[in-house]
Chains A and B, each alone.
Chain A
Amino acid sequence: MNSKRSIKLLKQSLILGSTVILLAACGNSNDTSDQESADGRTTLEFWSFWGSGARRETIEEIIEEYNASQDDVTVEHVYQPWGDIWTKSLAAIAGGNAPDVIVQDINSVKQRAEAQQATNLQDYLDEDDISGDFYPQLWDTVLYEEEAYALPFNTDTQVLFYNKTAFEEAGLDPEMPPETWDELEEMARQLDQGSEGNWEQIGFYPRWNIGVDVWALNADGGEAWFDSNGEVAINTPEKVEALEWMLDWQDYYGRDTINQYEAEFGSGVSDPFISGLVSMRGQNINYYTNLVENAPDDFEFGVAPLPEKEEGSGHWSWGGGFVLEVPENTDHPEESYDFMKYLSSTEVQEKFGMNSFDIMANTEANENLKTHEELDEMGQMIYELADQNLAVTTITPVPLNAPDFNSLVNTEIDAAFLGQKTAKEALDDAQESVENLAE
């Protein structure tokens, strides 16, 4: 009797078990965002990829202060690894259990707005217009059909780093970085040491750390592959010249040399700029933190805007960044927006910038950081340069009609660097295939 009963019990529990699994798999558990804690506060889930170092510490401090500053909302910071966060959030949005606020890529806001993955924030902005707090080109990225779907958080810009000691040794004035492409080339030749196959010091190579897209935009008055009117502008004469110029650099140092060095840099064993192998390089201004942390104390470097193609063509540069977004169909958009507004306020932006050395989206925050007493002279100078550079920095949001056009352009550019096509042929072909994709 007893064993029969226990078998029956086992059977029942097996059936029950599999049903529960099935139901759990089908239903969506929305419990975290619905939850109100015992003290009547709403819990907001905030996803970022700031998992370590200064950014994590700072954002958690900021959140703690926010939670203490009012009685309605508790924000919970959830760290998602860089490689996962956006595929994960996409799945969460599609599954109807998205977090309340996500740090998203600045270039694809329109794409998500169109696909109804982000909440329209225009109503809140109509009430209290804060669009003027941000750099205008950053604000443009969050607009879809003239309504806002995100708030800009931080940004960056490409600049030229150069080794002052190497400048002195080559007889160059360390306070006079190159202003134009010609000067850049002249100085690089003076800095070069060695010969093909055996370089001890490389003055400059334009394709290291920034791409053809940046130099093309620099040459073409700040117009990217898709120009400011949204037209495909890949094979403009200026961009063809830019690519030709870059190909000349490759010829000069030799393709094999370049490949070898790239593989070494890729392994990340040593930083060629710090080790003195490369004397000048174009790079994201964030690289400054890297230098502060990793370079020896006596390492003397300078930072300058990217040289312009020729006098008067403009020191155009390129930038990216991140925004704060409320996914579609969350339960507390109003509270979420309030938190986002807090994160983009001058005071909080200033704090985040000061600890992370990120260039902030809030204009006033950067202005304040230029003279911030807790920053040293060099740190203040970085913000000075960033603020100045943002006036000539283009942000390139993903075009809605060709979101993945980049791989087509890169194929052609690679073909040019492999010697299979001339600069003109490569960019003509890229123009044609991207137009074709955009149709």
Chain B
Amino acid sequence: MAAEQRIEPKKKPKRQKMNKRQKKEALWGLLFVSPFIIGFLAFMLLPMAFSFIGSFTNYNITSRMDFIGFENFTRMFTNDQLFLTSLYNTVFYVVLNVPLTTAGGVFLAVLLNRKIRGISIFRTIFYLPAILSGVAVYVLWMQLLSPSSGLINTVLSWVGIAGPSWLFDPNWTKPALILMRLWSVGGAMLLYLATLQNVPIQLYESAEVDGAGPFKKLRHITLPLITPIIFYDVITSTIGAFQIFQEAYVMTENGTGGPANSLLFYNLHMWNKAFVAFDMGYAMAMSLVLFAIVIVLTFINLKLAPRWVHY
């Protein structure tokens, strides 16, 4: 993407007047994209604009919407200890989850990018968890993570490790969720696998002629060539990780945030403010802050990209 932009001439092309045929074509084009445009306006842009305005009010969904300036924001940072807890929990999760799932995806893809007998079966096995999703998986994991009878601690006990209480110990709740997410890195793996197969074989051959071993080939050929996809994966999974909600909502009793609020993620706190306390204005302000955080991080990512992404 960035490469294309660089090739683009700096000068703006002179705008030509459209003839009748072109106009007609443009109209047809618009007509066919109109479902999306209408959908985007009605279900994305308008709600976003409304939520932006709502951030500065005491909106409670049904009876009031008075302008209160920046009160929601000052309250958030000065008078809501759970806001900071939820922000900390979410950042903790993002910081561990994004690198681990990215590394996991690359690692699996490299392993599975071999021409050995039955490789497609292995690929399928590792991809399968990615197509399972939602509540069923969380319930399954709650059983796997059970401290005494769960499969994970049982296996750990075979090698003499007394496993933690996972979802019952506030120090282990977030790692437990990250472990669960790692299980389904198949989606990212598939992307990397597709990219790996486009890496020209000649590069490896010439490297071999020069005496490069497998690790050097990985370090100097494979990784640089898949950086654009790593970059894409990091950006999308960062955004996705900030939005974590379902897992905590399902895996903690009544969506309350788990032991010592260790699973009270940003969106869960926001949900509780909106639908338990009816404090929708505050929840909207929270969503605006999250939006700002994600925008800033994405911007930083984009700025840093030229240093390590090779197109």
Q: Which residues of A contact B (CB under 8 A)?
A: 11, 14-15, 18, 21-22, 25-26, 86-87, 90, 93-94, 111, 114-117, 256, 259-264, 266-267, 328, 403-404, 406-408, 410-411, 414-415, 418, 433, 436
Q: Does B157 contact A (CB under 8 A)?
A: no
Q: Which residue of B lies closest to A116 (CB)?
A: B63
Q: Which stretch (B197-205, B219-227, B257-265) binds chain A?
A: B257-265
B275 near A87 (CB under 8 angstroms)? Answer: yes
B31 near A14 (CB under 8 angstroms)? Answer: yes
With beta carbons under 8 angstroms apart, the residue of B62, B261, B273 that contacts A117 is B62
Q: Does B79 contact A (CB under 8 A)?
A: yes
A266 near B260 (CB under 8 angstroms)? Answer: no
Q: Does B38 contact A (CB under 8 A)?
A: yes
Q: List 9 A-B contacts (CB under 8 A).
A: A15-B31, A18-B35, A21-B38, A115-B62, A403-B276, A404-B276, A407-B82, A418-B260, A433-B81
B167 near A116 (CB under 8 angstroms)? Answer: no
* Given A115-B278, A259-B168, A263-B165, A404 and B273 contact (CB-CB distance below 8 Å): yes
B149 near A25 (CB under 8 angstroms)? Answer: no
Q: Which residue of A lies closest to B278 (CB)?
A: A115
With beta carbons under 8 angstroms apart, the residue of A11, A117, A260 that contacts B165 is A260
* Chain A to chain B: the 6 pairs with minimum beta-carbon distance, closest first: A116-B63, A260-B148, A414-B260, A259-B165, A259-B168, A403-B277
Q: With the chains together, A21 CA to B148 CA distance in Å?
A: 54
Q: How far is the CB of A31 from chain B (nearest CB, A)?
A: 21
A263 near B146 (CB under 8 angstroms)? Answer: yes
Interface string of B14-43 (1 = CB under 8 A from A): 000000000000000001101100100011
Interface residues of B in 60-83 (CB under 8 A from A): 60-64, 79, 81-82
Q: How far is the CB of B93 from chain A (nearest CB, A)?
A: 18
What's the tally of chain B residues with a CB closer than 8 Å to chain A? 42
A262 near B62 (CB under 8 angstroms)? Answer: no
Q: Does B175 contact A (CB under 8 A)?
A: no
Chain B residues in 8 Å Cβ range of A26: 42
B143 near A410 (CB under 8 angstroms)? Answer: no
Q: How far is the CB of B134 from chain A (nearest CB, A)?
A: 13
With beta carbons under 8 angstroms apart, the residue of A11, A87, A407 that contacts B264 is A407
Q: Does B150 contact A (CB under 8 A)?
A: yes
B278 near A403 (CB under 8 angstroms)? Answer: yes
B273 near A264 (CB under 8 angstroms)? Answer: no
Interface string of B155-178 (1 = CB under 8 A from A): 000000000011111100000000
Q: Does B272 contact A (CB under 8 A)?
A: yes
Q: Which residue of B lies closest to A327 (CB)?
A: B62
* Given A404-B272, A404-B273, A407-B256, A22 and B61 contact (CB-CB distance below 8 Å): no
A111 near B261 (CB under 8 angstroms)? Answer: no
Q: With the chains together, A15 CA to B166 CA distance in Å?
A: 55
Chain A residues in 8 Å Cβ range of B54: none
Q: Does B147 contact A (CB under 8 A)?
A: yes
* Given A21-B38, A259-B169, A263-B147, A94 and B61 contact (CB-CB distance below 8 Å): yes
B260 near A404 (CB under 8 angstroms)? Answer: no
Q: With the chains together, A117 CA to B61 CA distance in Å?
A: 9
Q: Does B108 contact A (CB under 8 A)?
A: no
Q: Does B286 contact A (CB under 8 A)?
A: no
Q: How far is the CB of B104 from chain A (nearest CB, A)?
A: 26
With beta carbons under 8 angstroms apart, the residue of A15, A90, A267 that contacts B146 is A267
Chain A residues in 8 Å Cβ range of B165: 256, 259-260, 263
Candidate in A111, A263, A404 with the most chain B CB atoms within 10 angstroms: A263
Q: How far is the CB of A265 from chain B (nearest CB, A)?
A: 10
Q: Does B109 contact A (CB under 8 A)?
A: no
* Given A90-B275, A111-B278, A403-B276, A262 and B168 contact (CB-CB distance below 8 Å): yes
Interface string of B123-163 (1 = CB under 8 A from A): 00000000000000000001101111110000000000000
Q: Which residue of A lies closest to B37 (CB)?
A: A18
Chain A residues in 8 Å Cβ range of B261: 407, 410-411, 414
Chain B residues in 8 Å Cβ range of A11: 31
Q: Which residue of B lies closest to A408 (CB)?
A: B82
Chain A residues in 8 Å Cβ range of B82: 407-408, 411
A263 near B38 (CB under 8 angstroms)? Answer: no
